[in-house]
Amino acid sequence: MDARFFSGKDRRTSSSRSVDTGATHYKQMCRTLLLLGSLSRGPLYGYELCHMLQEHDNLKMASFRTTLDHLIADRCLYYEIMPALHTGRNKRIYALTHKGYRQFSTLLSDFLLTDTSLPGGIEVALRFLDRLPETERLTLLRARRCLLTNQRILTVAKLSGPLITATSSYILSYRLCLLDAELAWIDQMVAALQPASFKDVQVDPC
């Protein structure tokens, strides 16, 4: 037998490498949304941005600087040099461009309206939902409700299927509880956001 079979080299299949690449890309998008969303509240110093990202991710400084450099090169961010009075070292303060805000808004929508979004990405998106105008928030929440409603229909159909196993039943019933909880939360948010004149109007959420 080939001795290389027992070597420590990476022998993963192309499909596992594809999964790893997709997970890395998803994580990078989460970091980008977190960084852009933090700046949507106003300009911040570099160390403030890094601290915010490290609260949600075990982020190394090199990765942080790489993300910043990409966004600056894409003209989503810009920075100014601010003199430090006491330390003698200049500091960078970062701010969003108009393109950066559009990218932030697009990323936030993508995370909320994509079937493959993971809980961590959803939570990052919801963290910054209040940065959008109320009409956009309502539109996004209603669209997400439609997405979850369709997922619920599929989940219930699988639960009542003839070939379901006990293990699958546990997983699907758990998923159904999560869907119901988020749907109830969205209904509360929509009721709080929509104008008073529409409170008693029955609107099909989909």
Residue percentage of the chain with pLDDT more than 90: 50
**pLDDT at residue 12 greater than cutoff 80:** no
What is residue 120's predicted lDDT score, i.e. its pLDDT?
75
Calpha distance 5→30 (Å, rounded)? 36
Radius of gyration, CA atoms only, the chain: 22
What is residue 171's predicted lDDT score, i.e. its pLDDT?
93
E-assigned strands of the chain? 44-45, 77-82, 91-96
Residues 160-172 have a mean pLDDT of 88
**pLDDT at residue 202 greater than cutoff 60:** no
Residues 31-58 have a mean pLDDT of 87
**pLDDT at residue 50 greater than cutoff 80:** yes
Could you read off the pLDDT of 89-145 as tens digits, one per residue? Answer: 788 999 999 999 999 999 999 999 987 666 678 888 999 999 999 999 999 999 999
pTM over cut 0.95: no
Q: Check residues 46 and 197 and name the one with the higher pLDDT.
A: 46
Tokens of 36: 């852009």
**pLDDT at residue 61 greater than cutoff 60:** yes
Q: Check residues 89 and 67 and name the one with the higher pLDDT.
A: 67
What is residue 155's predicted lDDT score, i.e. its pLDDT?
94
What is residue 203's predicted lDDT score, i.e. its pLDDT?
53
3-state SS, residue 38: helix
Pick from 47-61, 66-80, 93-107, 167-181: least confident:
47-61
Tokens of 11: 């022998």
**pLDDT at residue 205 greater than cutoff 70:** no
Residue percentage of the chain with pLDDT more than 70: 79
Which element (helix H / strand E) includes 167? Answer: helix 166-193
Residues 177-200 have a mean pLDDT of 84
What letters, b where the CB count within 10 A reaches 16 and e where it falls short, cover 106-141? Answer: ebbbebbeeeebeeebeebbbebeebbeeeebbebb
8 A C-beta contact, residue 107 and residue 33: yes
Instruction: Please state, in angstroms and as integers, the Cα–Cα distance from residue 87 to each residue in 49, 84, 91, following that order.
Output: 20, 6, 10
**pLDDT at residue 4 greater than cutoff 50:** no
